[in-house]
Amino acid sequence: MAVTVGMKLVFRLGEVGFTLAVDRLIALREIEVDSFDPSSAGSGRFHLGTLNLRGEEIEVRDLAGRLRLPAGQLENGQGLLVVSGQGAPWSFPVDRIDGVYPDAEFELREIGAFFLDPRDRLYERLALWRRELLVPCDPERIERCWEQT
């Protein structure tokens, strides 16, 4: 299946499912000892290190930790999503990738204000997919919330 605009990647952080518009995805990588540098991890609260991608150093962030989800240890071979951010690409580890699916399979649902934490507006909608609610992953919105921590 060819990957085009109008497609969403479904991935997991722990048991929580997320969607990411494929046009925001730069690369899908696996953590490899020779391309990942954890020594720069001290530069930010949710910063895990850097990834060398085609000669460019890409920040690896702890999205699971930022979302207050249980985060495991990074493992060799674990999947990393590299996404386009506001100023530069960044990446984050994922626990599982379910696949890429057409937008038509997803129905966006608004979350009532009662359920939203006013201090943390990472998402205001959920995507209904195959009778499961998934969190839409918007890299720019995450970056804006990241700056507030």
- The pairing of strands 56-61 and 90-94 is parallel
Residue-level pLDDT at 140:
87
Cβ atoms of 78 and 30 closer than 8 Å: yes
33-89: pLDDT as tens digits: 677 788 776 666 788 888 888 888 899 999 998 888 887 678 888 899 999 988 889
Which domains are present in the chain?
Answer: 7-146 (2.40.50.180)
> Looking only at Cα atoms, what is the longest distance across the chain?
46
Cβ atoms of 129 and 103 closer than 8 Å: no
In this prediction the pTM is 0.85
Residue-level pLDDT at 1:
46
92-146: pLDDT as tens digits: 999 999 999 999 999 988 876 545 455 555 567 889 999 999 999 989 888 877 6
17-35: pLDDT as tens digits: 999 999 999 999 888 767 7
